[in-house]
């Protein structure tokens, strides 16, 4: 009986050890090395300028669209075009986009809301043209981008999807929670993706700054009301053997919401979507990668298996308590050793990541707020099991 209990506990603990170690390895592999960037990552745009369309799905984005369009047009090459899909808009989004020089198409279908539907409408409009582009770049309407030309050229040269760095900045005068969120985004969308690339893995799609060869873009099924449609599309591409690659040749930036309620809604949508894919897709990628010898799919599955860091911290603490109880009642030392070592490695990796990547924007005094930040996230994770997000909801812009 005691042996059976120990085996069960070891199995449960391993479900924490694996994501702990995967996250630690990604963070350590993703830290800047001492070699020059050009030698390290080989992100060089080559070839002639490709014909590209920047596809911008927009739902009631009038407040900040003009500034975003001005910045985007400063990045455009001679053979680039901006196509804005004004999706179910009740404001001046379409008018502002046209005035800024973009091509605008409007879609009105209140029953079918969501970024995925807007992207599908845009792809259908592009497909109806007599001369499609070489590359389509998806950019959210509240984002700015630097390095667009390099991103387009790299995508056209490699003939594969490219995800550039997508960072979220805390708004001016924000609280500690948003600074912590911005650092968490940096870890997820830059450090981990860089590490995954260096391990030989693919990139997951993060929602904006995604470049696709037209032949790939037109066959993606963007339709549907997925709450993380981009993330899911990237996983489908990996399963199909057309893995996206991560590149720092370009960088997309956006601001986190200024209001706490909007921030909670955004986090709830993103993290519920991530947890959905963790349960639905990660096992298939991991076991499929093992059975078919597909290293990239295997690594992608391990990456998806890592839950949001706050949830992983709570689960690890609970696991340590369980391991201690097992030691006390069943003399089982192995689970405690395994989880203690893996969580210690992860803590060291995250501390080093903060030292290298986050110390300038997140002073040490803010780190004492991490326990409060994690506790505030518990309601989001509890809601996943009680009333999870299942429909796309637009985040209010500042």
Q: What is the pLDDT of residue 165?
A: 97
351-392, pLDDT tens digit by residue?
999 999 998 889 999 999 999 988 888 888 888 877 665 555
In a domain, 379, yes or no: no
**Higher-pLDDT residue of 212, 270:** 212
Tokens describing residue 290: 């093992």
* pTM for the predicted model, two decimal places: 0.90
49-99, pLDDT tens digit by residue?
799 999 999 999 998 899 999 999 999 988 899 999 999 999 999 999 999
Q: What is the pLDDT of residue 394?
A: 55
Domain count, the chain: 1
Collapsing DSSP to helix, strand or coil, 53 comes out as strand
**pLDDT category, 163, cuts 50, 70, 90?**
very high
* Residue 129 predicted with pLDDT over 70: yes
Burial 12-46 (b: 16+ CB within 10 A, else e): bbeebbebbbbbbbbbbbbbeeeeeeeeebebebe
In a domain, 297, yes or no: no
In a domain, 357, yes or no: no
Structural domain range at position 183: 37-284
Q: What is the pLDDT of residue 48?
A: 65
Closest by CA position to 131, among listed 20, 214, 38 = 214
Torsion of CA 69, 73, 74, 77, to 10 degrees: 160
Indicate the average pLDDT of the chain.
89
Spatial distance between the Cα atoms of 115 and 223, rounded to a whole number of angstroms: 9
In a domain, 132, yes or no: yes
**pLDDT category, 111, cuts 50, 70, 90?**
confident
Mean pLDDT for the stretch of residues 177-191: 93
- Looking at the chain, the whole-number percentage of residues with pLDDT higher than 90 is 67
Contact between 345 and 21 (Cβ < 8 Å): yes
| Element containing residue 138 per DSSP (H, E) | strand 135-138
Contact between 246 and 262 (Cβ < 8 Å): no
**pLDDT category, 39, cuts 50, 70, 90?**
very low
CATH of the domain at 60: 3.90.550.10
Burial 158-174 (b: 16+ CB within 10 A, else e): bebbbbbbbbbbbeeeb
């Amino acid at each position: 009986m005691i042996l059976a209990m120990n085996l069960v506990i070891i199995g449960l603990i391993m479900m924490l050890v694996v994501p702990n170690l995967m996250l630690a390895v990604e963070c350590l592999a993703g830290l800047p090395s001492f070699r020059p960037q050009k030698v390290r990552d080989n992100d060089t745009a080559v070839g002639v300028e490709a014909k590209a369309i920047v596809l911008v799905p927009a739902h009631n984005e009038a407040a900040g669209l003009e500034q975003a369009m001005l910045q985007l047009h400063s990045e455009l090459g001679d053979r680039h075009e901006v196509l804005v899909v004004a999706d179910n808009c009740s404001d001046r989004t379409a008018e502002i986009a046209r005035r800024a020089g973009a091509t605008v198409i409007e879609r009105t279908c209140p029953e079918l809301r969501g970024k995925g539907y807007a992207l599908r409408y845009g792809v259908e409009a592009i497909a109806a043209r007599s001369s499609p582009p070489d590359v389509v770049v998806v950019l959210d309407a509240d984002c700015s981008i630097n390095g667009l030309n390099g991103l387009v050229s790299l995508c056209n040269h490699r003939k594969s999807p490219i995800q550039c760095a997508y960072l979220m900045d805390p708004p001016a005068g924000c609280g500690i929670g948003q600074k912590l969120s911005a650092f968490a985004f940096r870890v997820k969308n830059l450090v981990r993706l860089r590490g995954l690339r260096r391990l030989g893995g693919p990139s997951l799609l993060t929602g904006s700054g995604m470049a696709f060869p037209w032949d790939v873009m037109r066959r993606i099924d963007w339709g549907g009301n997925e709450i993380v449609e981009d993330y899911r599309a990237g996983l489908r591409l990996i399963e199909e053997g057309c893995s996206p690659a991560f590149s720092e040749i370009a960088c997309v930036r956006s601001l986190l919401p200024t209001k706490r309620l909007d921030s909670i809604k955004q986090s709830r949508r993103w993290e519920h979507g991530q947890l959905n894919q963790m349960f639905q897709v990660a096992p298939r990628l991991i076991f499929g990668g093992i059975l078919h010898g597909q290293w990239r799919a295997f690594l992608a599955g391990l990456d998806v298996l890592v839950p949001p860091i706050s949830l992983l911290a709570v689960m690890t603490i609970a696991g340590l308590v369980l391991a201690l109880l097992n030691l006390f009642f069943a003399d089982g030392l192995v689970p405690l050793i395994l989880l203690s070592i893996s969580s210690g490695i992860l803590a060291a990796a995250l501390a080093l990541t903060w030292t290298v990547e986050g110390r300038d924007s997140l002073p040490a005094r803010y780190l004492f707020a991490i326990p409060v930040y994690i506790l505030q996230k518990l309601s989001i994770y509890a809601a996943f099991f009680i009333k999870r997000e299942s429909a796309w909801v637009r985040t209010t812009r500042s």
